[in-house]
Amino acid sequence: MRIEPLTKRHRRTDFGCGVVELDLYLRNIARQDLRKSAATVFVATPDGERVAGFYTLSQSSIELDLLDPSLRAELPKYPSVPATLLGRLAVDKQFQGMGLGKLLLLDAFARVCSVASVIATAMIVVDAKDDSAVRFYRSYGFQELTGMANRLVLPLETARKAVLGGR
């Protein structure tokens, strides 16, 4: 299984993760986001064409007041801090339950960590679609933002440790 940037050769129409919004995003919007530099899209592919899973990354920021005090302690005292948004992450039904979600997440962590010295980012932020997604992200150390049940954050250092440890 390779994880690579989305290109024209990837078959997006066959993808089905069970969440219509995510399926439609990959089929109809992902390439537009790439062209307009709204997000980068990475796909897991077993053969260079079929899409087994995907995720998106884009720049964001988080208001410092929304972070748990334990997370704020090491950050500069600005109104907000730079973050990277892991906007979408999905696995095709035929590949679910095989650890591909973990592989995609760790790949996203590695890519964010690799550019963090060029484009500052203090956190990775996700908007979990449902309780199952919240549990998935929490299992990797993500914490909820104050007053935002499905928006979670992970300090960059935690992501770096996960990549180095192969969590």
CATH number of the CATH domain containing 155: 3.40.630.30
What letter does residue 6 receive in the DSSP assignment?
-
- Residue-wise burial string across 3-39, b where 16 or more C-beta atoms lie within 10 A, e elsewhere: beebeeebebeebbbeeeebbebbeeebbebbeeeeb
Q: Does the global pTM surpass 0.85? A: yes
pLDDT the model gives residue 167: 58
Tell me the C-alpha distance between 64 and 61, whole Å.
9
pLDDT the model gives residue 148: 84
pLDDT means over runs of 10, the chain (167 residues) = 97 95 97 96 96 97 88 85 96 97 96 92 94 93 87 93 78
pLDDT the model gives residue 15: 97
- Taking alpha carbons only, the member of 74, 101, 69 closest to residue 88 is 101
Tell me the C-alpha distance between 127 and 108, whole Å.
15
Pull the structure tokens for residue 151: 């928006």
Domain that holds residue 16: 2-165
pLDDT the model gives residue 71: 85
Say if CB 15 and CB 64 are below 8 A apart: no
Cβ neighbors of 127 (< 8 A, separation 6 or more) are 85, 87, 150, 151
User: Backbone phi, then psi, for 164, in 5-degree steps?
Assistant: -65, -35
pLDDT the model gives residue 82: 94
pLDDT the model gives residue 76: 83
Strands 123-127 and 80-91, by their bridges, are parallel
pLDDT the model gives residue 166: 58
Q: How many domains does the chain have?
A: 1
pLDDT the model gives residue 104: 98
